[in-house]
Amino acid sequence: DTEVTQTPKHLVMGMTNKKSLKCEQHMGHRAMYWYKQKAKKPPELMFVYSYEKLSINESVPSRFSPECPNSSLLNLHLHALQPEDSALYLCASSPGLAGGREQFFGPGTRLTVL
């Protein structure tokens, strides 16, 4: 079952709100990712977790805070976002980092910041 789930599907938040995005996979994958995608652009990598440890932070502003509670779950905590942060936020997982294995994306959360 190649499925990654994400909640919520849509989120509207003000610039002073705190919210969280959630991602779950049950494929036994050991690497999980957060991407941001703006309209008509390819996904941009934000964070990579490998074996529940943060491996990569692609110089993402601190208003985005990732968390990996266990090997199946990945959260993205949002605080004091800006309107330009409005985008589709995608979670992905892969069997591991080594060997450049395939990544499977979840359905995404459409975020609007007012």
Partner 1 sequence: QKEVEQNSGPLSVPEGAIASLNCTYSDRGSQSFFWYRQYSGKSPELIMFIYSNGDKEDGRFTAQLNKASQYVSLLIRDSQPSDSATYLCAVNSGGSNYKLTFGKGTLLTVNP
CA end-to-end distance (rounded Å), the chain:
37
Bridge partner residues of 6 (DSSP):
23
Pick out residues in 17-76 that bind partner 1 (CB under 8 A): 31, 33, 41-43, 45, 48, 50, 55-56
- Collapse the DSSP code of 45 into the 3-class scheme (helix H, G, I; strand E, B; otherwise coil) and give the result: strand
Residue from 27, 60, 73, 97 that binds partner 1 (CB under 8 A)?
Answer: 97
Residue from 22, 30, 73, 105 that binds partner 1 (CB under 8 A)?
Answer: 105
Chain positions contacting partner 1, by CB under 8 A: 2, 31, 33, 41-43, 45, 48, 50, 55-56, 88, 90, 97-108, 110
